[in-house]
Structure 1
Amino acid sequence: MKVKVISRSTDECTRERSQDLQRVFHNFDPKLRTQEKAIEYIRAVSAAKLEKIFARPFIGAMDGHIDAVSCMAKNPNHLKGIFSGSMDGDIRLWDMASRRTVCQFPGHQGAVRGLTASTDGRILVSCGTDCSVRLWNVPSATMSVDSYDNSAKPLAVYVWKNAFWAVDHQWNGELFATAGAQVDIWDHNRSQPVNSFEWGKDTVLSVRFNPGEPNILATSASDRSITIYDLRMSSPGRKIIMRTKTNSISWNPMEPMNFTSANEDCNCYSYDARKLDEAKCVHKDHVSAVMDIDYSPTGREFVTGSYDRTVRIFQYNGGHSREIYHTKRMQRVFCVKYSCDASYVISGSDDTNLRLWKAKASEQMGVILPRERKKHEYMEKVKDRYKNQPEVKRIVRHRHLPKPIYKAASLRRIIVEADRRKEERRRAHSAPGSMPREPLRKKRIIAEVE
């Protein structure tokens, strides 16, 4: 005769990390849980409120420069190191963990306009308005903070005939490009440019190499143009002319064919390099010129710094910002960077400070226990499930804005609405088909040149 008995192990019936608490087993049958949706909705509202309560994005300021911070660069080989250059020619290497200067690179006589590090993290390249390019040896990441040399000497100094406005290093290569009166391609071992590109007579403001194709780079110039160059060709590739000037460009590291430009008209425009006749997405919310932009290593978000004294974080395909960061003392933001682990955002502003922010304002830093991680993941899922409910949507979208920015945004909405009404009335009193409708993705582009 066989007798069936219930047999369970002790590990299955007790919770982790405690041998005295009995594990509770739930039956998720909808017939037995009639109030499941109501309970989850309340949890979603609570999760949205708790996110606001624990939102403390500002971590600290790195003070040391005596003039405005004009540019920054990340070290791909050192997670907590960040380079910064200021308008008085001072270049510093910061340790973000201790938030203090660990090395200085003196030598520039004017404003430092561009900084970049090689892919292996051993060489730092700087350029400025003193018409010089300087190569520096970066201290090893394995050295302790106290063992760094306080100042370094340049490995090489290349003096040219024009001032420089930007510099960027090739991915997995030995070349770097400078922007100024023209685009110059340099080699580490040569004091003269190995190649030069020029399309027009205006100053080139920014230059960025493509992370997926090392021979392709994109530039923006003061003639409102965005140009794509190929080092394997003797002439420039493609060019578009917009209605306003582009201050900076950043390629998406996960989708190397796409890039986003920070424009003077308060918007950012995402383009596909293979199809430049219209933008893929227009990112709005700033109320003044966008000065700098940088993509997260994940390629899902990017951060922007603006002349309106705020830092905003956008989804790569989102029309409006996910987050806005500001402080009372922060002035016009000239440069922003995402950290190499996508956990932090660094901003450099006109008040001589670098500020360190969390990429997710309410994220819990430090070691998280497994049960805590499961709780956070559950709250995120519940909040995402009910994100379109009015109460949850209102709490998640709400952001406190400084009074000047709030008023400027209201005024900007009034102006945009007035322009829309004016265009509709003009179209209503014109011949049918004489005024074709153009979306904003196409309207801001004047011409495309092959």
Structure 2
Amino acid sequence: MDATEYNGLVLFLDIWFLIMNIFFQLENGKDLEVPRNYDPSLHPFEMPREYTRALNATKLERVFAKPFVAALEGHRDGINCMAKHPKSLSTVLSGACDGEVKIWNLTTRKCTRTVQAHEGFVRGMCVRHCGTSFFTTVYTGVDHHWTDAIFATCGQQVDIWDEQRTSPMQSYTWGVDSISTVKFNPVELILEMRTNALCWNPMEAFIFTAANENYKLYTYDMRRMEVPIRMHTDHVSAVLDVDYSPTGKEFVTASFDKSIRIFPVTSGSSREVYHTQRMQHVTCVRWSSDNKYILCGSDEMNIRIWKANASEKLGLVSPLLLSQNTIH
């Protein structure tokens, strides 16, 4: 037997033993252990193939994305402001231009209570952090203290109020311009154009984002106020409201350009833009406390509910237990 015949016989025996080993493992219910060499030189098309798969998955995710969930109808005038309940995920409040305030149950998507709070615009609204009552104002903004029974309003000046008194405890004025928004934190920041709203990052106490009249948003660190950490663009008209997600990794914005956008905090550009044909100027927006939904109010009297992640499958919606906290 020459060398060629010998090598052929050895190769035949190796293949035969491999086949017999596979049959033996199958008969005994054992998992097959298939050896694999991960040397990149042996797999020259692996990276292009994985890139193509990832690209196709991204395209399919966008094709099947259906972010719109529902619309809450009932207001008779444009929605001007909204507030989240701090203790109940299924409760949200909205104020309209005709002075009407509605309390909504997001589980049933129905209004549970209507209050005629003012004769004119409801321009500001906030809920006490204990969740038992809420405050509305005809001024441009209102915010309640996190622990004390005091709240602040803004307009021609900033007033600090005690809940038990009918006159302000303290008033602050800066020049002759109106003040658009107020939040409880001792920071002063002056921009070239008007700031319509600001929101603090819930996970980073020193970080906040301001929505500006110049179509942009600015994220600042209050310890270094000289320059913003990041500037966020993409809107084509004034940005009217902003709210952070509970995780602090993203925020949502409302704009006069009839759209809402979702921005990662680390990016200057938005990852999502939501709008419908009937949606008019979006005046207010809130991110739900369970990080699943976004609510926006606009001039055509509708509150719209959107998915925070457009491609997320919600499945069957089961009734939730209502919170024991009630608003009086």
Which bracket does the TM-score occupy, shorter chain normalised? Answer: 0.7 to 0.9
Residue 195 (structure 1) aligns with: 170
Q: How does 1:160-175 map to 2 (within 5 A)?
A: 164-175=139-150
- Report the Cα offset of residue 104 of structure 1: 1.1
Q: Deviations over 1:45-75 (max 9, x none)?
A: 2211111122100011111101110000000
**Using a 3 Å threshold, how does the CA distance of structure 1 residues 319 and 192 change in structure 2: closer, same or farther?**
same
Unaligned runs of 5+ in 1: 1-12, 14-20, 129-163, 210-215, 218-227, 229-237, 368-450
Q: Please state how far the C-alpha of 1:173 moved relative to its aligned partner.
A: 3.0
Deviations 1:325-350 (A, max 9, x none): 01000000000000011111100000
Q: Is 1:363 the equivalent of 2:312?
A: yes
- Alpha carbons of 1:90 and 1:26: their partners in 2 closer, same or farther (altered >3 Å)? farther
- Larger relative contact order (Cα-Cα within 8 Å, sequence gap ≥ 6): 2
Q: Deviations over 1:92-133 (max 9, x none)?
A: 0011122211111223111001110011111111111xxxxx
Aligned equivalent of 1:264, options 209, 213, 219: 213
C-alpha distance in 2 between matches for 1:167 and 1:294: 15
Deviates more, 1:189-198 or 1:83-92: 189-198
Residue in structure 2 matched with residue 326 of structure 1 by the alignment? 275
What CA distance in whole angstroms lies between the structure 1 residues aligned with 2:121 and 2:262?
A: 28
Tell me how far apart the structure 2 counterparts of residues 320 and 170 of structure 1 sit (CA, whole Å). 33
Instruction: Tell me: CA distance 1:105–1:30, structure 2 relative to 1, closer, same or farther (3 Å).
Output: same
* Equivalent-residue separation in structure 2 for 1:22 and 1:327 (angstroms): 56
Quote the residue 1:338 is aligned against. 287
Question: Judging changes above 3 Å, is the alpha-carbon distance between structure 1 residues 285 and 22 closer, same or farther for their aligned structure 2 residues?
Answer: farther
Asked if 1 retains the 8 angstrom alpha-carbon contact of 2:263 and 2:269, the reply is yes
* Residues 26 and 94 (structure 1), Cα distance of their counterparts in 2 relative to 1, 3 Å cut: farther
- What do residues 139-161 of structure 1 show as CA deviations (whole Å, max 9, x unaligned)? xxxxxxxxxxxxxxxxxxxxxxx
Partner of 2:50: 40
Q: 1:311: how far off? A: 0.5
Contact in 1 for aligned 2:117/2:136 (Cα 8 Å): no
1:13-162 equivalence runs, <5 A: 29-31=37-39, 34=43, 36-128=46-138
Give the letter aligned to residue 176 of structure 2.
K
Q: Of residues 186, 201, 210 in structure 2, which corresponds to 1:252? A: 201
Assess if the C-alpha contact under 8 Å between 2:77 and 2:96 holds in 1.
Answer: yes
Runs (4 or more) in structure 1 with deviation over 4 Å come to 21-29
CA distance, structure 1, for counterparts of residue 241 and residue 34 of structure 2: 51
CA 1:25/1:86 → structure 2, altered by over 3 Å: closer, same or farther?
farther
The equivalent residue for 2:10 is none
* Alpha-carbon distance in structure 2 between the residues aligned to 1:192 and 1:115: 19
1:28 Cα deviation from its structure 2 partner: 6.5
Question: Cα–Cα, structure 1 residues 41 and 169, in superposed 2: closer, same or farther, change >3 Å?
Answer: same
Q: In structure 2, what residue type is equivalent to 1:116?
A: C
2:177 is matched by which residue type in structure 1? Answer: D
Match of 1:112, SS state, is coil
Match for 1:247: what amino acid? N
Matched residue SS, 1:204: coil
Return the letter of the residue paired with 1:30: Y
| 8 Å contact from structure 2 (residues 233, 269) kept in 1 | yes
1:196: Cα distance to partner? 1.9
CA apart distance, 1:183: 0.9
1:301-339 CA distances to partner (integer Å, 9 max, x unpaired)?
110011110100001121111100010000000000000
How far did residue 197 of structure 1 move?
A: 1.8
Find the partner of 2:253 among 289, 297, 304.
304
**Residue type of the partner of 2:168?**
P
> Which residue pairs with 1:351 in the alignment?
300
Instruction: Please tell me whether residue 205 in structure 1 is matched to residue 180 in structure 2.
Output: yes
- 1:1-60 residue CA offsets vs partner (Å, 9 max, x unmatched): xxxxxxxxxxxx9xxxxxxx9978776651498354344223202211111122100011
Q: Give, as a single letter, the amino acid of the residue that structure 1 aligns with 2:174.
A: W
Structure 1 residue 188: Cα displacement: 2.0
Number of residue pairs matched? 287
* Structure 2 residue identity aligned to 1:352: M
Which amino acid in 2 is paired with 1:243?
E
SS in structure 2 opposite 1:52? helix
Partners of 2:289 and 2:144 in 1: how far apart? 16
* Alpha-carbon separation, structure 2, partners of 1:294 and 1:280: 17
| CA RMSD, Structure 1 to Structure 2 (Å) | 2.1
* Corresponding residue number in structure 2 for 1:286: 235
Task: For residue 116 of structure 2, give the secondary structure of its aligned residue in structure 1.
Answer: coil
1:169 Cα deviation from its structure 2 partner: 1.3
Q: Displacement, 1:366?
A: 3.3
